Amino acid sequence: MPLPARRIRSEDWRPVGLDGLEHNALTVVRSARNHSVLAGPGAGKTELLAQRAAFLLQTGASPAPQRILAISFKRDAARNLARRVRQRCHPEHAARFDSLTFDAFAKSLVDRFGQALPERWRPTPDYGILFPKRAHWEDFLDRASSSLTKPESQAAVRALSVKDFERRHVLAEPIPEAGWPTNTAGRWAGQRFWDEQLRGAARSYLTFPMLSRLAELLVRVNAAARNALALTYSHVFMDEFQDTTQAQFDLVQTIFHGTRTVMTAVGDNKQQIMRFALAMDDPFTAFEEAYGAERIPLRSNYRSSPELVRMQHVLARSLDAEAVEPQSRTASSIPDACCAIWDFRGANEEAQHLARFIAAQMREHGLKPTDFVLLVRQKADDYAGVLAPAFQAAGIPLRNEAAQVGAQMLQELLTEPLSDAVVLLLRFATAASAGRAWSESLHLLSELHGVEHADERARRRQARALDAFAQQFLERFPLPPQTLEAARPIVQEIVAFLGRERLVAAHDPYAHGDWLQQVESSVAQHLWSSSVGKTRWPAALDDYEGTHALALMTLHKSKGLEYHTVIFLGLDDSAWWSFKYDSADATAGFFVAFTRAKQRVVFTYTAERGARREIAPLYAMLHAAGVQTLAVQAAP
């Protein structure tokens, strides 16, 4: 029989898996109060939440059968936090920790209780997910105005801002149960949009922010559901809180405000780069006022060298004049300048020099391609076309994380639960020794089948099923697929083993439309392209995950990642065209890019791509931090 979870007295509890935490972090971990935690780059936000979960679960501060709810902005962040809690806690404890994204949390509520919504707000049970772009809003407003008979009414609707329509007129406030009064053009158009999406076709189509609004309405009018949620969760964690939208905040408010649930919000207001995705202007102040939460800063930076941390603080002060000066907890490992701006005559010279520089750094410091990242503001494909030949000539695999694979960008595909499951089971089935892959595969299978850790008989049955799957798989697919037609049955075999219905039940987005089929197709396509020319499964899977490749990605996709050296290409007006429209958002993105680095940051510029007049303030900040500009000429 597996050993039961042991309860630890709170005074005897110590951080799990590390030597210690800074004083402020330990205060939050042990606290019974509501807190907002301002945690700068490299402060260990995820580790803080994992340690807090361990403390609450292991000491009984979150008593069974109550649970802890962690809500993150991104799927990979939610998955990473759940994995850390499993590593630090007994399985009985970890089973009471729910780590979800905001979108998944809202969607799960609508899926469970949506048919109890008031009739005018009730979506069809088989509703689809809508991902509207600007053209969608333009088309809607054009159709809506044309449907009106009075010229002045048509003009009022046409005058609505396409850019702000969703934020101001569709999602701005909680949904009134009886519907909005249509006494303004914006109110009329907003209500019409909701009506179209809910009942304009045989099937409803809703955006994720709309689902947050519907979820808030249903718990507001359904006291039983609201009370059940508040009683279920003793504690709620909200990660990357700076990116929280008003709809998400209102949902959490409606469920937990005024209850005994203890709230912890963690993030960094200097890294708010999701305003385009409807993030609130100042969510921390709103949270502190609503919950009487105490603000606690984390002062340590466990990622970047002391000189980089000093420079980061100069940039931070431009975003927040009251930013707390952080303390670097790591040492410098390079003898030369840790940050510079490199000017090139052209993009080809830039590519050649960067490839040679990285190759030399790898030799000199014993680094790998994955210790470096190439960041761009946008249009990674344009940069990849110039960079790829130079890096290939230098013998460095370059991987464009923004490349399209089926219906998704590569980096997004790799965060899909199905992609994770396929790689995990392939690692287990094809490795000579697969200890970690075996235990993670068993956890995945048990989770899909609802098997408790204490159910030893069922877990033995799952273990036998895994072993049988591995044996049969290698007999059928001894080599990586060399064609797309050969890759498809491999993915289908894994989906069949896991159970299509169980995948759909476990991951809400797979329940609607043909999204699961699209992801399945993309996984097969990427598996094939990763396997071409490979004769061994481990090499193909390494290629699939980019284990040995240097990544090229946009700065928005770099958030939460870290690298020895960050090279940001294209510090020019063309790439940063939005700076003159929203300098605060652009500066926050610039700060995020800078703070991914452990030891070195390089910014590159060439007049071939654009001038640098509009973004002169960014250059001024770098120069104020002591960053030098160097003219670089690639060697022949």
Strand partners, 236: 69, 263
Tokens 């299509």 appear where?
500
Q: Which residue has the higher pLDDT, 490 or 334?
A: 490
**Single-letter amino acid code for the residue at 629:** T
| pLDDT, mean of residues 177-186 | 89
Position 275 scores a pLDDT of 56
| pLDDT, mean of residues 275-296 | 85
Maximum average pLDDT range among 171-175, 269-273, 446-450: 171-175
Burial of 135 (0-12, 13-18, 19+ CB in 10 A): exposed
Position 274 scores a pLDDT of 57
- pLDDT exceeds cutoff 70 at 276: no
Cα(583)–Cα(437) distance, integer angstroms: 45
Give pLDDT tens digits for 317-340.
Answer: 877 777 788 899 889 998 888 999
Position 180 scores a pLDDT of 85
- pLDDT exceeds cutoff 70 at 2: no
| pLDDT, mean of residues 520-527 | 96
* 23 Cβ contact partners less than 8 Å away, ≥ 6 residues apart: none
Give the CA count within 13 Å in the CB-facing half-sphere of 442.
17
Strand, helix or coil at 348?
helix
* 310 Cβ contact partners less than 8 Å away, ≥ 6 residues apart: 625
Angle formed by the axes of helices 246-256 and 283-291, to 10°? 10
**Single-letter amino acid code for the residue at 47:** E
Strand partners, 70: 99, 237
Confidence of residue 459 (pLDDT cuts 50, 70, 90): confident
Position 273 scores a pLDDT of 58
> Which helix (H) or strand (E) is 97 found in, with range?
strand 97-101
Confidence of residue 473 (pLDDT cuts 50, 70, 90): very high
Position 604 scores a pLDDT of 96
Position 296 scores a pLDDT of 94
Position 634 scores a pLDDT of 61
Determine contact, residues 357/530, Cβ cutoff 8 Å: no
Determine contact, residues 270/320, Cβ cutoff 8 Å: yes
pTM comes to 0.86
Tokens 């929203």 appear where?
582
Tokens 């083993």 appear where?
497
Confidence of residue 437 (pLDDT cuts 50, 70, 90): confident
- pLDDT exceeds cutoff 50 at 516: yes
- pLDDT exceeds cutoff 60 at 287: yes
Q: What are residue 385's phi and psi, to 5 degrees?
A: -60, -35
Q: Which of 159-163, 214-218, 486-490 has the lowest mean pLDDT?
A: 159-163
Position 85 scores a pLDDT of 95
Confidence of residue 1 (pLDDT cuts 50, 70, 90): very low
Cα(594)–Cα(579) distance, integer angstroms: 17
Whole-angstrom CA distances from 605 to 359, 569, 571, 620, 629 are 20, 7, 6, 15, 10
Q: Which of 4-13, 205-214, 272-281, 509-518 has the lowest mean pLDDT?
A: 272-281
Position 310 scores a pLDDT of 93
Query: pLDDT > 70: what percent of the chain?
Result: 97
- pLDDT exceeds cutoff 50 at 397: yes
Q: Hey, what are 625's tokens?
A: 């931090």
Torsion angle of alpha carbons 387, 390, 391, 393, nearest 10°? Answer: 160
Q: Hey, what are 631's tokens?
A: 């003219």
**What DSSP string describes 505-574?**
HHSGGGGSTTHHHHHHHHHHHHHHHHHTT--SHHHHHHHHHTTT-EEEEEHHHHTT--EEEEEEE--STT
| pLDDT, mean of residues 71-95 | 90
Cα(445)–Cα(459) distance, integer angstroms: 9
Q: Which of 211-220, 374-383, 435-444, 606-615 has the lowest mean pLDDT?
A: 435-444
Whole-angstrom CA distances from 429 to 425, 438, 474 are 6, 9, 7
Q: Which residue has the higher pLDDT, 401 or 280?
A: 401
Confidence of residue 507 (pLDDT cuts 50, 70, 90): confident
> Which helix (H) or strand (E) is 69 found in, with range?
strand 67-72
CA proximity to 371, closest of 546, 554, 541, 570: 546
Count of beta carbons in the 10 Å neighbourhood of residue 12: 8
Kindly report whether the peptide bond that precedes residue 65 is cis, defined as omega within 30 degrees of 0.
yes
Cα(480)–Cα(263) distance, integer angstroms: 48
Q: Which residue has the higher pLDDT, 55 or 40?
A: 55
Confidence of residue 421 (pLDDT cuts 50, 70, 90): very high
β-pairing verdict for 294-298 and 35-39: parallel
Give pLDDT tens digits for 130-147.
Answer: 888 889 999 999 999 999
Cα(353)–Cα(347) distance, integer angstroms: 10
Position 389 scores a pLDDT of 96
Helices (H) and strands (E) in the chain, counts: 27, 19
CA proximity to 287, closest of 260, 318, 256: 256
Q: Which of 224-228, 540-544, 553-557 has the lowest mean pLDDT?
A: 553-557
Count of beta carbons in the 10 Å neighbourhood of residue 633: 10
Burial of 18 (0-12, 13-18, 19+ CB in 10 A): exposed
Determine contact, residues 310/326, Cβ cutoff 8 Å: no
Strand, helix or coil at 296?
strand
- pLDDT exceeds cutoff 80 at 192: yes
- pLDDT exceeds cutoff 70 at 277: no
Burial of 128 (0-12, 13-18, 19+ CB in 10 A): middle
Cα(625)–Cα(636) distance, integer angstroms: 33
